[in-house]
Chains A and B, each alone.
Chain A
Amino acid sequence: MRLARRVWLWALPLLFLGLFFYLPLGRILIITGQAAIETGLRPSFGAQLLRTLGFTAGQAGLSTLLTLLIGLPAAYLFGRFRFPAKRPLQLLFTLPFILPTVVAAAGFNALLGPNGWLNWGLMRIFGLSQPPVMILNTLTAVLLAHVFYNTSVVLRVVGSAWAQLDPRLEGSARTLGASPWQAFRTVTLPLLRPFILAATVLVFLFNFTSFGVVLLLGGPKFATLEVEIYIQALQILNLPAAGALSAVQLLCTLIITLVYTRLADRRNIPLTPRLESEAVQPLHSLPRRVFAALVIFLLTALLLLPLAALVLRSFSAVNADGTLRLTLDFYRELFINRRQSIFYVPPIRAALNSLGYAGLTVLISLSLGSLAAYALRESSRLNRVLEPVLMLPLGASAVTLGLGMVMVFNRPPFDPGSFPLLLPFAHSLVALPFALRSIQPALRSIPPSLGQAAAVLGASPGKVWRTIEMPILARALLVSAVFAFTISLGEFGATAFLARPERPTLPVAIFRYLGQPGELNYGQALALSTLLLIICAVSILLLEYLENRARQK
Chain B
Amino acid sequence: MIKKNLFTILLLFTLLAACAPASPTVLRVMTHDSFSVSEPVVRQFEETRNVKIEFLKSGDSGAALNRAILTKDNPQADLLFGVDNTFLSRALQAGIFEPYQSPLLQQIPTEFILDPQYRALPVDFGDVCINYDRLYFEKQKIKVPETLQELTRPEYRGLLVVENPATSSPGLAFLLATIAEFGDPGYLDYWKQLRANGVVVVNDWNTAYYTNFSGSSGKGPQPMVVSYGTSPAAEVIFASQPLTEAPTASIIGPNTCFRQIEFIGILKGTPNRKLAEEFVDFILGKTFQEDIPLQMFVFPVNSQAAVPEEFSRYVQVPSQPAELGLDLIDQHREAWIEAWTEVVLR
Q: Could you tell me which A residues sit within 8 Å of B by CB distance?
A: 28, 31, 44, 102, 105-106, 109, 113-115, 131, 136-137, 215-216, 219-221, 227, 230-231, 233-239, 317-318, 322, 327, 329-330, 339-344, 399, 402-403, 406-407, 410-411, 415-417, 496-497, 501-502, 511-512, 514-523
Contacts and interface: CB of A to CB of B under 8 A. Distances in A.
B231 A235 contact: no
A340 B40 contact: yes
Contacts of B166: 220, 231, 235-236
A230 B39 CA distance: 33
A520 B238 contact: yes
Contact of A516 (B207, B238, B240, B338): B238
A340 B66 CA distance: 30
Contact of B67 (A136, A236, A322, A403): A403
A102 B206 CA distance: 9
B219 A115 contact: yes
Contact of A220 (B37, B203, B217, B237): B203
B56 A339 contact: no
SS of B interface (majority):
mixed
8 contacts: A113-B218, A113-B220, A114-B212, A220-B202, A234-B62, A341-B39, A516-B238, A523-B240
Interface in B17-38: 28, 33-38
Contacts of A339: 36, 38, 294-295
A292 B231 CA distance: 49
B36 A342 contact: yes
A515 B34 contact: yes
A114 B220 contact: yes
A231 B167 contact: yes
Nearest to A317: B240
Given A113-B220, A235-B166, A520-B240, A417 B54 contact: yes
Nearest to A137: B202
Nearest to B70: A407
Nearest to A239: B66
Interface in B289-346: 294-295, 297, 333-334, 337-338, 341, 345
B65 interface: yes
Contacts of A497: 58-59, 63
Given A239-B66, A399-B63, 12 more contacts: A31-B70, A109-B211, A109-B218, A219-B201, A230-B167, A233-B62, A234-B62, A317-B217, A341-B38, A497-B58, A518-B238, A519-B217
B71 A340 contact: no
Nearest to A513: B238
A106 to B, nearest CB: 8
A237 B217 contact: no
Contact of A113 (B90, B204, B211, B216): B211
Closest 3 CB pairs of A and B: A518-B238, A234-B62, A519-B217
Contact of B33 (A113, A322, A515): A515
Central interface residue in B28, B172, B241, B297, by most chain A CB within 10 Å: B241
A102 to B, nearest CB: 7
Nearest to B28: A417
Given A215-B203, A216-B204, A417-B56, A403 B212 contact: no
A512 B210 CA distance: 15
A435 B235 CA distance: 45
Nearest to B40: A340
Nearest to A520: B238
A521 B220 contact: no
B238 A519 contact: yes
B221 A114 contact: yes
A518 B39 contact: no
B107 interface: no
Nearest to B91: A237
Given A234-B59, A238-B334, A517-B227, A114 B211 contact: yes
Contact of B334 (A106, A221, A236, A518): A236
A516 B295 contact: no
B42 interface: yes
